[in-house]
Structure 1
Amino acid sequence: MNSTRHEQFREYVSARGPALLRAAVRLAGDRAEAEDLLQAALAKTYLAWDRIGDRAALDGYVRRAMVNTQISWWRRRKLEIYPTDQLPELPVDDHTRRSEMHDALGRALRRLPERQRLAVILRYYEDMPEAEVAEVLGVSVGTVKSTVSRAMARLRDDAVLVDDFA
């Protein structure tokens, strides 16, 4: 049974890994951190594999594990990160073939504070209702609404077209 479990998990990761990595990159804002985030979420998923009865819900389980892990990491780093008036130089991704608009949006999302970025990604990229975003982030629905509103205003100030989100 253990080899069957292992093979099922391997097939799942092979099939869904790229999509899950894209979600992790959006959550983490950095590819290296996203890979760590996905790996941590997949480890949790593997340990819970036998308890997950609905295999159609696996993506949701992994995404939830990524969000919870990201929040946990964010809380731990909260005291280590200090705001500054100057933004650091952003690394250039030489091997990307994304459009200029997609790149601009990615840069703008990375400039958002962690909670705003998570709220926008969950609300619009993952298409979660506000109540579900509030539950995942552990805040009220009103906090989600105001956080997303402030994030969208900041994105507009950065001259990023956000019409595709709405």
Structure 2
Amino acid sequence: MKLLDRLFRRDAPPVTPPLDPADRVVSWATTAEAVAVASVHALWLPPKKGVSDQEWHRLGWHEIHKAVWRDGSLVVTPGVEVEPGVVADGAVRRLRLPDPRDLPVQVRERVERSVAHTEHHALSGGGGVRVVARRVPGHDGLTWQLRFDDPADRSSDAARAEAEVLLDAARATHEPV
């Protein structure tokens, strides 16, 4: 192993997820169960504890709503598309990292880099909506999403109409000139 690799901890993980040829490992850490890997395009989570035949779980950076490093654990909340252009929080994954290396830093930086626009708006009928634009590897332009504070607002015609106006306004500010 090269000296610079050791200094910057760029050694290879003990197991590697099935990366695309254009992807590469940028960080990894051992969890209580296995290994979590950050690549250029995604966070690769190990199978859930007690599920031996499960494959790696890939979360593109644009699919992660929140990633928090707290009390020795990386807590990842993915976004789930509940209908076209509307996302909600998915099942939270908590990874205990006895030796986190630089994985939490890489996750935070890459999730933040995927966000081109984020703005929370109060809705006139109560509640709120977040308008988000994300950069998706291999996809030209931005991917726009709405994330309602209260899932019930997704069913409200008035809240949906107001959110669509806010989305259109945000898109107009990010159109290429």
Q: Which structure exhibits the higher relative contact order, with contacts defined as CA atoms closer than 8 Å and separated by 6 or more residues?
A: 1
Fold match, TM over 0.5? no
Structure (1 or 2) with the greater helix fraction: 1
Structure (1 or 2) with the greater strand fraction: 2
Larger Rg: 2
